[in-house]
Amino acid sequence: MPSVKLKAINKSFGQRQVLQHIDMEVGDGEFVVVVGPSGCGKSTLLRIVAGLESPTSGELWFDDRLVTQVPAHARNIGMVFQNYALYPHMTVFDNLAFGMAARKTAPSAIKHRIDEVAQLLEIEPLLHIRPGALSGGQRQRVAVGRALVRSPFAFLMDEPLSNLDALLRERMRVELRRLHDRMRIPTLYVTHDQTEAMTMADRMVVMRNGRILQLGRPEELYHRPSTVFVAQFLGSPPMNLVSVKVLPDKGVAVAGKDPQVIPIPARIREQIGGRNVVWLGFRPERVVPQTDGAVEGLDFTATVHTVETLGARYHVHGTWGESPITWVTTEREGLTGSVKMKLTVPWDQVHWFDAATEERMVSPERESIPVQVGGTL
Amino acid sequence: MNRRVPLSEDARVNSATGGGLLLWLSWWNAYALRETLVGYGLILPSLLVFLVFYYGPAIFLMYIAFFHWNIFASQSTFVGLHNFSVLIHQPVFWQSLLNTGYYVVLVVPVTTLLALALALLLRETRNLRGGGLSQALVFLPHVTPVVATSIIWVWIFDPTFGLANAVLHFLQLPQLGWLSSVHWALPSVMIYTVWHSVGLYTVLFLAGLATLPKQVLEAAQMDGVRGWRSFRRIILPLISPITFFVIVLATINTMQTFSQIYTLTGGPHGGAGGPAFSTTTDSLLIYQTAFLYLHFSLSSAMSLVLFALILTLTLVQKLIADRMVFYR
């Protein structure tokens, strides 16, 4: 059962600690995406697994083999670099053959394996061309091919799609994921693009400032973000966050000249405890118009400011009290500037965060996650 | 009518007619003329210096190579290829060609390889303490004046008191006559030239190595290609444009070497090029023919030969480079 395990990995460059106590695992056939803003340490993490950097402390295991001190080339890793890093002076064939030749593989075996991989990736017509003459998408495929020819123990990908244009990126996303479903090689994939992470991952890891903030299935992270940062990092447009005052009479009030007091269920009130101010969060797509008591939820009145048309839906930017909020609707009718709208968010779609620690406080009534699609855990 | 647009198809068609011509002229006046004048105005000072001191003498040289020209006489006579035929009957001319060839064939490869090796070493040590200082020290000889350091090297090469023989003595090797030996005089000059010029080529190689894409080297590392193999298969092909440039530059520079030969082997007291013409290279002979024996026409003919040689060699190098150099 091939798996990659990171145990208590720390990494410092001089005084600067870039990774702090990283514990995670990429299981057999799993596609794990590490996502976070630039400088969060995700690339360093990948380079440690590759063997291009060594950790300051901690252990790296491939199955039951401790590889922390094993040099990069002996780890049998296939890596796809951000700018592909193809050998510019060699043909595609030689690019694929280079590593195998260095390992003294017989020329006939090299040829056989390259033909196999080239067929899989549909790059056979490109084998005798140099990378300079290839398009971005073709280079991407060749880079994947070079990682694949050696039948690697695990795949590492460092922002492999970030040099492609939007349309091609979407296509390659699907292709890479499909390739993974066929090969089932444990894959660790690094990106700063949350859409890429959400769409491709079996499990995802959100990092910030060298720490893992949350680790789990994309739906889990999306619907149960453990911190304000994860809540806002995932999803587009991001989750709305509103600072509210907790009132002794079992309600909350949003800041503003004419504070709207909203009664909240006793279950949530209990978990808020003695806090005076908390963050209240809800996803833009979970906002619905009020339908007189049909849905039990957070009822509020918002003022419309601008409407963005996206074709199938509209992003409405407005304010609730003094807090800017965004919601998504498919109905354009009645949406004009300064209109006040009565909106609601079902209680199980409202997230509560501690104002000081920014951590999630209220566990949901239902433990199951609303939408479940694919993925293995 | 001030149309500040480049000369378009329309303007060109219109210029056939009278109105078009006026339009074209007004466009020219308003824009192109001003641009042109400002441009030439900016390069004028250096252009003048170049014309008077560089292109002027060069063209004049090509002219007097075919004349019998005397600096003291007012008239010159056309003699065709006579100067060249005199040259090929002079044993010292052939000797100088041979010396130049010997000098170039040894100095260029040695300097290039040494510079590459130094650059690779300096690249490894650049992040260590003193790495920057080492780079500066390697480059330092190149910024010293040739004549001044040549005089120091005259002392280093002194058979009796010199450092060179002291080192040989220390290593228990036979001592040499260095600059006073027919066999060792030119190699002594070569040693000086390598010492003086290797810093420049090292810096060029360092610049080339700095442009190597880091991720490509890491990809090679993950492919299990390290050490010599990685150098030969990855680094060398990727820096081949720099290598080509260094070789061409070193060839041209060594073919034109003059100052150190003049200073090391004779200096102002005469006798440069000795002993027994063993260090007489082309450029030294050109100088001596012109300013010692005052045969300016003959010396010009020699310069043309040297020019033709350098040109041919560079073109040959270019032909080779087209097959071997990889441009990213």
**Residue-wise DSSP of B278-310:** TT--HHHHHHHHHHTS--HHHHHHHHHHHHHHH
Contacts of B324 in chain A (CB under 8 A): none
**DSSP letters along B202-233, please?**
HHHHHHHHHTS-HHHHHHHHHTT--HHHHIII
Cα distances (Å, whole numbers) of residue A363 to A209, A286, B24, B85, B310 = 26, 18, 79, 103, 83
What are the structure tokens assigned to B246, written together? 């260094």
Q: Inter-chain contact B222–A86, Cβ cutoff 8 Å?
A: no
Contacts of B326 in chain A (CB under 8 A): 88-89
Q: Name the least confident of A74-83, B21-30, B84-93.
A: B21-30
Q: Where are the alpha helices (DSSP H) in A184-217?
A: 194-200
Cis status of the peptide bond prior to A237, with omega within 30 of 0: yes
How many angstroms from the chain centroid is the CA of residue B54?
16
Q: Inter-chain contact A73–B221, Cβ cutoff 8 Å?
A: yes
According to the model, what pLDDT value does residue B299 have?
92
Q: Inter-chain contact B222–A50, Cβ cutoff 8 Å?
A: yes
Q: Name the least confident of B21-35, B37-51, B157-171, B203-217.
A: B21-35
Domain boundaries of chain A, sorted by first residue: 4-227, 237-354
A364 pLDDT more than 60 = no
Determine the Cα angle at B18 with ends B13 and B21, to 5°: 60
According to the model, what pLDDT value does residue B176 have?
86
Q: Inter-chain contact A79–B222, Cβ cutoff 8 Å?
A: yes
Q: Name the least confident of A63-72, B107-116, B120-129, B152-161.
A: B120-129
**Residue written as tokens 């000059």?**
B189
Q: CA-to-CA distance for A210 and A169, rounded, in angstroms?
A: 27
Q: What does the pLDDT look like over A98-117, one tens digit per residue?
A: 988 888 889 999 999 999 99
**Residue written as tokens 């003193």?**
B130
How much is the mean pLDDT over chain A?
88
How many angstroms from the chain centroid is the CA of residue B215?
35
Q: Which phi and psi angles does A356 have, rounded to 5°?
A: -85, -55
Burial track B217-246 (b if 16+ CB lie within 10 A, e otherwise): ebbbbbbbbeeeebeebbbebbbbebbbbb
Interface residues of B toward A, Cβ cutoff 8 Å, are 213, 215-216, 218-226, 229, 233-234, 237-238, 326, 328
Cα distances (Å, whole numbers) of residue A47 to A177, A322, B213 = 22, 45, 16
Residue A281 near residue A241 (C-beta atoms within 8 A):
yes
For domain B83-324, the question of CATH label 1.10.3720.10 is answered with yes
Which candidate, A53, A54, A74, places its Cα nearest to that of A62? A74
Contacts of B241 in chain A (CB under 8 A): none
B321 pLDDT more than 90 = no
Q: Inter-chain contact A77–B222, Cβ cutoff 8 Å?
A: yes
Q: What is the average per-residue pLDDT within A224-253?
A: 88
Contacts of A110 in chain B (CB under 8 A): none
Q: CA-to-CA distance for B268 and B66, rounded, in angstroms?
A: 31
Best to test chain B binding among A13, A73, A100 (most B CBs inside 10 Å): A73
B71 pLDDT more than 90 = no
Does residue A58 come out as left (phi exceeding 0), alpha (psi in the -120 to 50 range) or beta? left
Q: What is the average per-residue pLDDT within B53-77?
A: 85
According to the model, what pLDDT value does residue B268 have?
57
A59 pLDDT more than 90 = yes
Q: Inter-chain contact B222–A73, Cβ cutoff 8 Å?
A: yes
Best to test chain B binding among A44, A52, A89, A91 (most B CBs inside 10 Å): A89
Contacts of A81 in chain B (CB under 8 A): 215, 218-219
pLDDT band at B323 (very low <50, low <70, confident <90, very high): confident
Between residues B227 and B246, the one the model is more confident about: B246
Contacts of A79 in chain B (CB under 8 A): 219, 222
According to the model, what pLDDT value does residue A203 have?
94
Q: How many C-beta atoms lie closer than 10 Å to residue B106's C-beta?
A: 16
Domain boundaries of chain B, sorted by first residue: 9-52, 83-324
Q: What is the average per-residue pLDDT within A190-214?
A: 93
| Distance to chain B for A137, nearest Cα, Å | 18
Closest Cβ opposite residue A102 in set B216, B218, B229: B229
Between residues A110 and A271, the one the model is more confident about: A110
Q: Inter-chain contact B218–A102, Cβ cutoff 8 Å?
A: no
Does the pTM surpass 0.80? The reply is no
According to the model, what pLDDT value does residue A92 have?
94
Which candidate, A236, A216, A237, places its Cα nearest to that of A227? A216
According to the model, what pLDDT value does residue B20 have?
73
Contacts of A102 in chain B (CB under 8 A): 223-225, 229
**Which residues, numbered 132 to 161 in chain A, qualify as contacts with chain B under a Cβ-Cβ cut-off of 8 Å?**
132, 146
Terminal-to-terminal C-alpha distance of chain A: 15
Percent of chain A with pLDDT strictly greater than 90 = 54
According to the model, what pLDDT value does residue B127 have?
77
- What angle separates helix A92-102 from helix A136-148, to the nearest 10 degrees? 20
- Thinking of the domain A237-354, which architecture would CATH place it in? Beta Barrel (2.40)
pLDDT band at B116 (very low <50, low <70, confident <90, very high): very high
Contacts of B226 in chain A (CB under 8 A): 73
Closest Cβ opposite residue B224 in set A87, A99, A146: A99
Q: CA-to-CA distance for A217 and A198, rounded, in angstroms?
A: 9
Pick the CATH number of A4-227 from 3.40.1050.10, 3.40.50.300, 3.90.650.10, 3.40.50.620: 3.40.50.300
Which residue of chain A has the CA closest to B216?
A85
Closest Cβ opposite residue A81 in set B219, B233, B234: B219
A65: β partners:
A62
Between residues B305 and A293, the one the model is more confident about: B305
| Distance to chain B for A88, nearest Cα, Å | 7
According to the model, what pLDDT value does residue B10 have?
47
What are the structure tokens assigned to A146, written together? 């070079």
Best to test chain A binding among B127, B211, B223, B235 (most A CBs inside 10 Å): B223
Cis status of the peptide bond prior to B275, with omega within 30 of 0: yes
Q: Where are the alpha helices (DSSP H) in B131-281?
A: 131-143, 146-156, 163-170, 185-210, 214-222, 227-230, 236-238, 240-255, 259-265
Cα distances (Å, whole numbers) of residue B181 to A214, A344, B236, B276 = 80, 102, 39, 9
3-state class (DSSP) for residue A58: strand
Q: Where are the alpha helices (DSSP H) in chain A?
A: 42-50, 92-102, 107-121, 136-148, 166-183, 194-200, 218-223, 228-233, 266-272
| Distance to chain B for A351, nearest Cα, Å | 42
Q: CA-to-CA distance for B22 and A109, rounded, in angstroms?
A: 75
How much is the mean pLDDT over chain B?
86
Q: Inter-chain contact B216–A79, Cβ cutoff 8 Å?
A: no
Q: CA-to-CA distance for A185 and A205, rounded, in angstroms?
A: 18
Q: CA-to-CA distance for B179 and B279, rounded, in angstroms?
A: 9
